[in-house]
Chains A and B, each alone.
Chain A
Amino acid sequence: MIERMRRRGELVMLLLAGAVVAGAYVVATLGRTASVPADIGPFLVLVLVLFAGAHIAIRKLAPGADGTLLPLAVLLNGVGYVFIARLREDLAAKQAGWIFLGLVAFVVTLAVVRRPRDLERYRYIALFVGVGLVMVPLVPVLGQTINGARIWIRLGPAQFQPGEFAKLFLALFFAAYLVEKRELLALASWPRRRPILPDPKHLGPVLVAWGIAVVVITAERDLGTALLFFALFIVLLWVATGRAGYLLVGAGSFALAAFASWTLFSHVQDRVTNWINPWADPLGGGYQIIQGWYALADGGVAGQGLGLGLSGAPPGCDPAQGACDGRLPEAQNDFIFAVIGEELGLIGSAAVIAAFVLLVGTGLRIAASQEGAFEKLLATGLTTLLGVQTLIILGGVTRLLPLTGVALPFVSYGGTSVVANYVLLALLVRLSDDAHQRRQRKARRVGALAGAG
C-alpha cells in the first residue's frame, strides 16, 4: 500500500520534473535560435525513456524506497543539461551520454547492492580502492592537469575524475570502520590527566586514510575535494561517537591546516585574496568571481530568460561569423549556478537551492530511519558528501567562501561526477528501501504474533 503510494508519487513528480526540463529545453532553444529545432522530439523521448527506466528499476528493485530522491535528481540533472546545451552545444551530446551512463550505473547499483549491510564487509577494499583512486592522477602518462588541478586521468578518448568515485569508497570505509570502533573512540582516555579524546591508536587507520587523501589531493591542487573529505571525516566521527570534542579538534586542525597551506602555497593565497577583494584584480584572478556576481545580479528576481543571458554565447550568435564567447569562462562547470541565476533569476536559483535542501533533508531522514549503525553512518556520510559539496561550490560562486572548484552535483558538466552521484543516489535509494522492508517485516511479525495470540 505504502509502496504503491510512494511509487505513484514518484511517477507524478518525475512527470513534473520531465515537463519542466522539456519545457526549459524548448524555451532555451527558442531564445537562442528563435525556432524549435527539428531534433527536439528524439531528445525528449530519450530523456523520458531514461528517467522512466530508472523509475521502473526502482519499482522492481527497491519498491519501498523514498519517492522524492529520483525526481529531485532528475530535475537538477535535467536543468543542468538544458544549461549545458545552451552554453556549449558541442558538449550537449557528451553530457547526454554521461546521463545515460549515470542512469545505467544507478540501475546496476540497485541491482547489485541488494542489502546495504553486505557492503560493511568490503571496508578495507573500499579503503584501498578509495586511496588508490585518489592517487591515480599522480601517475605519469595517465594523469592530466586541467586548469591547474591534477585530478584527471585519460583513458583512450575519455577523461575521468577518479576523486568523484573515491569519495564514495572513503565514505563507505569511514562508516564501516567507525561502526567497529565507535565505542572505543567515544571513550575519552587521552591525555591521561584530563582525558578529552580517545587513545590515538584507535584512530590510526582512519587518520592514515584521511591524511593520505588530504595530502594527495592538496598535492593535486584540488582544495575543494580536500575540504569535502575533511568535512566528511569530522562529521562521521562526531555522528558515530557523539563527542563534540571531535568537532572542536577538527575545527582547530582545519584552521591550522588552512593557515599552513596559506603560507606554503601561492595558489591558496591567490584564492583567499580573490575572495576578500576580487576587484583588486578584476581582469585576472577576480574575473570569474566578479562575472559570477554580475551574472546573478543581472538576473535579478525574474531572470533575463532562458538562453538570453550574457554569460554564455549571446542569442542568435553564429560562431562562424565571429567570436561568440560569453562573459563567464567555463560557465558549464563550476559556475553553472551563476548562469541559472542569471537566466532564471532569484526564482530559479532559489529553486535549485531548495532542491538541494530537499535532497539533503531526505538523505538525513533516510539516515535517521535506519536501524543498523553502519547503515545510519553510510547514509549520513553520503548525504554529507552531497550537501557539503553543494555548499562548497555554491558558497564559492556567491563569495561566501573562497572559490574552490568542485562540481555542483547533478548540475555541472562532467561525466564522472554525474555517474558517481547517480551511484550515490542509488545507495541512498537502496538504504531507504532496506529500512522500509525491515519495518514491513517487523510489522508483519507483530501482526502474525497478534493474530496467533
Chain B
Amino acid sequence: MDRQIKKLGIALVVCFGLLFAQVNYIQFFGAERLNERPDNTREQTREFARPRGQILAADGSVLAFSVEERSQFRYRRIYPEGALFGPVTGYYSAILGATGVERSYGNELSGTTPELRFGNLSDLFVDRENVGNVHLTLRRDVQQIATELLGDREGSVVALDPRTGAVDAMVSFPSYDPNPLSSNDTEATDIKTVLDADPENPLLFRAYQDIFFPGSTFKVVTASTAVEAGIVTQDSPDYPVQSGFDVDFTDQDLRNFGGSSCGGTLFEILRESCNWSFAQMGVDLGPERMIAGAEAYGFNAEPPVDLPAPATSQFPTEFPDDEGNGPLARASIGQGDVSASPLQMALVTAGIVNGGSVPTPHVMDRVTDEEGEVVSTFAPSEWTRATSAETADVIRRGMVEVAQPGGTAEGLQIPGLEVGGKTGTAQLGTDPPRSHAWILGFAGPPGQPPEVAVAVIVEGQDGASEQTGGRVAAPIARAVMEAVLAARGGQ
C-alpha cells in the first residue's frame, strides 16, 4: 500500500502544481491582458474611488472639487458654479463617465501622469495622493457677463486671446448643472435621461460641439483668400453696384439683403456686406482656391482644442461642373453647404488679427500639484497658417472699417480702443423669416496687436436683415471684449 500512497502523493502534488501554474498564468503572465479586457471595468472603478484635484478658473474661483462620501464610490464631485461652467468642466460620474475638462484632463486630476506621480524622488517610496489641480484660462467674471447677456436665447459666446489661443470665456445656452449628473447613484441616470430627451439638447456644448451656417461672417475668409491670391487688393477691383449675382441654370439671382444694390472696393463691400460682390469674388477664385482658403483657416479639420469631441466645421470639398456657379457662389457668402462652430469663427478672427496665424485653442493654463508647484503649462502653438501677415493686415483693417459708425458692426465700438468686426445673418427660412445672428469681433489698444477675439451667435432670431447680427449679437460681443480687456489690464 505504501507504494500507492507515494504515487497518490505524487499525483496530488502534480495536480497542485498545475493549479499553481494556472494561478501564475492568471495573476502574472496573463494579468495585463485580463485587466485590459473591455468588459473588465475594475481600473475605471478604482479611478472613481480616488480623490481628484480641483478645477479652477483663471481668477482663482474653484469650479470643481471632490468631497468624500461613504458610498460605494468614495468621492463625489461638487461644482460650485453650477451651470455657469457646467459644459466646460463637464461632469464626472462613475455611472455616466466623464465629459469636458474632467475628461480631457482626467489623468492630471487623478494624478496619474508621470510628472505628478514621480514629481520628486521620495514620492516613489511614499504612497501619497498626488492629485493635480487644473487651472483654466477662462475667467469667472467674463463667463458671468456672457451668460447674463445671452440670457435665455439659444446661442454661444467664445472669447479668446488671438495671440495664444487661450480661451477667456465659452458659454452656450441652454447649459446644464453638472452636480446632479455627478451623483454616483441612479439620480444621475434619471437626470441624464431627462436632459437627453430635451429637444434643445443642453448636454451638447454648442460653443464648440455644434456647427451652424456662418452667413456673412464667412466673407472675411473669402476676402482673405482673394487678397492672398492677388485677385483683390484694397483698391481693386471696384465691383459695380448691382442688386444680385447671376446664378447659372436659374432665374433666381443670389440677391443682396433687402434687395438693395451694392458694390465698390474691398472695404466698401465688407462694410455693406455685399452679397453679390463676394459671390463674384468666390466664383472668380474658383473651387480649388476657395477650398484651400477655407481649409487654411481650419475648415474640414477638427480643432485641436483640449476638450472632448469638438465639431469639425465644414466647407464643401467639391463643386461639380454640372451644377454651375451657384454652389460656389453661395458657399462664398457662408451659405449653402458651409457650416462652422462658434469656436471656429472665433479662431478665424484670431487668425486675421494674429498676422495670419491661427493659434491652437486651449482652456488649460497650467497644472499644479498639491503644494501649488506648477507641474506643466500649456505651450501656445500655431494650429494652422491661414494667410500671409500682409493679407491678414488688409482684412484686419477692413474689419476695423466695418465697426466704424455706419458699418454693420458699429455696435462693437469701445471708446479709446481699436475695434473691428464682421456681422452675419444666416437665413434659416423665409416663412416666417428667421436667422442666426452672428458677430465676429476683436479689440485692443490702438496700434498694438488686438488682445481679444470673439465670436457670438444667437440662434433662430426673427427677421432676416443684415442689421440683425449687429443689433442682437454686437452688444454681447462688446461687453465680453470690455470685460476681457479690463481683466487683462488688471493682470
Q: Does A395 contact B (CB under 8 A)?
A: yes
Whole-angstrom distance from the CB of B393 to the nearest CB of chain A?
60
Whole-angstrom distance from the CB of B30 to the nearest CB of chain A?
7
Determine if B71 and A349 form an interchain contact, defined as CB atoms under 8 angstroms apart: no
Determine if A327 and B16 form an interchain contact, defined as CB atoms under 8 angstroms apart: no
For B72, what are the chain A residues with a Cβ–Cβ distance below 8 Å? 313-314, 317, 322-325
Known: A318-B71, A395-B19. A361 touches B31 (CB 8 A): no
Whole-angstrom distance from the CB of A243 to the nearest CB of chain B?
10
Determine if A298 and B71 form an interchain contact, defined as CB atoms under 8 angstroms apart: no
Known: A296-B26, A298-B42, A346-B28. A314 touches B2 (CB 8 A): no
Determine if A356 and B23 form an interchain contact, defined as CB atoms under 8 angstroms apart: no
Whole-angstrom distance from the CB of B127 to the nearest CB of chain A?
10
Distance in angstroms between the alpha carbons of A298 and B1 in the assembled complex:
44
For B5, what are the chain A residues with a Cβ–Cβ distance below 8 Å? 239, 364, 367-368, 376, 380
With an 8 Å Cβ cutoff, the count of chain B residues facing the other chain is: 41
**0/1 string, A25-54, CB within 8 A of B gives 1:** 000000000000000000000000000000
Smallest CB gap from B43: residue in A:
A298
For A200, what are the chain B residues with a Cβ–Cβ distance below 8 Å? none
Distance in angstroms between the alpha carbons of A298 and B2 in the assembled complex:
43
B285-337: which have CB < 8 Å to A? Answer: none
Q: Does A299 contact B (CB under 8 A)?
A: yes
Determine if A235 and B8 form an interchain contact, defined as CB atoms under 8 angstroms apart: yes
Whole-angstrom distance from the CB of B23 to the nearest CB of chain A?
5
**Most chain A beta-carbon neighbours within 10 Å: one of B6, B31, B39, B74:** B31
For B73, what are the chain A residues with a Cβ–Cβ distance below 8 Å? 314
**0/1 string, A379-404, CB within 8 A of B gives 1:** 01000100110010011001110000
Known: A282-B39, A314-B73, A400-B22. A301 touches B16 (CB 8 A): no
With an 8 Å Cβ cutoff, the count of chain A residues facing the other chain is: 56
Known: A239-B1, A290-B39. A322 touches B71 (CB 8 A): yes
Which of B23, B46, B68 interacts with A353 by CB under 8 Å?
B23
**0/1 string, B342-382, CB within 8 A of A gives 1:** 00000000000000000000000000000000000000000
**0/1 string, A181-196, CB within 8 A of B gives 1:** 0000000000000000
Which of A240, A282, A314, A387 interacts with B74 by CB under 8 Å?
A314
Distance in angstroms between the alpha carbons of A380 and B22 in the assembled complex:
26
For B22, what are the chain A residues with a Cβ–Cβ distance below 8 Å? 398-400
Known: A239-B1, A242-B1. A297 touches B35 (CB 8 A): yes
Determine if A353 and B20 form an interchain contact, defined as CB atoms under 8 angstroms apart: yes
For B1, what are the chain A residues with a Cβ–Cβ distance below 8 Å? 239-240, 242, 373, 376-377, 380
**0/1 string, B27-63, CB within 8 A of A gives 1:** 1101100110101101001100100000000000000
Smallest CB gap from A296: residue in B:
B26
Which of B31, B49, B184 interacts with A297 by CB under 8 Å?
B31
Determine if B12 and A387 form an interchain contact, defined as CB atoms under 8 angstroms apart: yes
Q: Does B431 contact A (CB under 8 A)?
A: no
Q: Does A415 contact B (CB under 8 A)?
A: no
Which of A346, A384, A387 interacts with B24 by CB under 8 Å?
A346
Q: Does B69 contact A (CB under 8 A)?
A: yes
**0/1 string, A304-335, CB within 8 A of B gives 1:** 00000010011111101111110100000000
Whole-angstrom distance from the CB of B451 to the nearest CB of chain A?
48
Determine if B27 and A301 form an interchain contact, defined as CB atoms under 8 angstroms apart: yes
Q: Does A177 contact B (CB under 8 A)?
A: no
**0/1 string, A12-25, CB within 8 A of B gives 1:** 00000000000000
Determine if A353 and B16 form an interchain contact, defined as CB atoms under 8 angstroms apart: yes
Distance in angstroms between the alpha carbons of A355 and B28 in the assembled complex:
20
For B42, what are the chain A residues with a Cβ–Cβ distance below 8 Å? 294, 298, 310, 327
Determine if B71 and A317 form an interchain contact, defined as CB atoms under 8 angstroms apart: yes
For B74, what are the chain A residues with a Cβ–Cβ distance below 8 Å? 314-317
Smallest CB gap from B13: residue in A:
A357
Chain A contact residues, CB within 8 Å of chain B: 235, 238-240, 242, 279, 282, 290, 293-294, 296-301, 310, 313-318, 320-325, 327, 341, 345-346, 349-350, 353, 356-357, 360-361, 364, 367-368, 373, 376-377, 380, 384, 387-388, 391, 394-395, 398-400
A-B contact pairs, 15 of them (CB 8 A): A297-B40, A310-B45, A314-B73, A314-B74, A315-B49, A317-B74, A321-B70, A322-B71, A322-B185, A341-B26, A356-B16, A357-B16, A361-B9, A368-B2, A368-B5
In the A-B complex, list the 4 residue pairs whose CB atoms are closest, starting with the nearest.
A297-B34, A318-B70, A239-B4, A322-B71
Known: A297-B31, A395-B15. 13 other contacts (CB 8 A): A300-B27, A310-B45, A313-B72, A314-B72, A317-B74, A364-B8, A376-B5, A384-B8, A387-B12, A391-B16, A398-B22, A398-B23, A400-B22
